[in-house]
Structure 1
Amino acid sequence: MIAVEWVFDGEIIEWRGPAPFFFVAMSESDSAELKAAARSLIYWGQVPVRAVVGETEFRTALFPREGRYLVPLKDAVRDAEGIGEGDVVTVTLRPGRE
């Protein structure tokens, strides 16, 4: 198990595809550091993590995009925290499948 975590602030962005998705992007340097630390966990480019936004803890998988990882924010997380597109949130990530 990897015993490291990343804490960062980021703006919630909407990525429109067939359906809208909301994400917070990690910095390129944090993304590179996480990729190196979580190498054994990566599958199809994604990294499984336990994430915390506000008081809400959840499991998800980070998506790689243009040299950065994106943290997906499901409706349940955004609703529980009363947050939306354009808001800046603090995200805590701990890689792992637990």
Structure 2
Amino acid sequence: MLLVQIEFTAPLWQWQVRTDSWWFVTVPPEHSDELADLPLPPRGFGSIRVRVTVGGTTWTTSVFPSDRDGGYVLPMKKKVRQAEGLVPEKAVSVTLETIDI
């Protein structure tokens, strides 16, 4: 199993679609390139399964390729945003680890 661990800091941003709001942190280009180069089995929407830690919260989710930034984006659950006191446009320190590779 190939394991990649990435640490980065990036701002929290909101994407609004119709009445829904989705919150993300963008994986920096150099780390997105590293993820894009992984030998992955096909998954929905080109996603990559990851374990994420922000502050004292760890959860399993996926990162997704983004046309907006040309890299990957990490969705930030409301539960995590509330638990860690995350606010829009403020830096979020993230540890991301690939799983299921």
**Runs of 4+ displaced beyond 6 Å:** none
Cα distance change of structure 1 residues 46 and 83 upon mapping to structure 2, 3 Å threshold:
same
Q: Secondary structure of 1:40's partner?
A: coil
Mark the runs of 5 or more structure 1 residues left unpaired by the alignment: none
2:55 alignment partner in structure 1: 54
Partners of 2:94 and 2:50 in 1: CA distance: 12
Q: Deviations over 1:19-75 (max 9, x none)?
A: 1000000112210111212x3255131111000111100111111113210010000
| Identical aligned residues as a percent | 32
2:95 alignment partner in structure 1: 92
Mark the runs of 5 or more structure 2 residues left unpaired by the alignment: none
Q: Secondary structure of 1:16's partner?
A: strand
Post-superposition offset of 1:97: 3.5
AA aligned to 1:23 is F
AA aligned to 1:3 is L
RMSD: 1.6
Partners of 1:57 and 1:86 in 2: CA distance: 21
TM-score by length of 2: 0.87
2:27 alignment partner in structure 1: 26
Cα distance change of structure 1 residues 16 and 5 upon mapping to structure 2, 3 Å threshold:
same
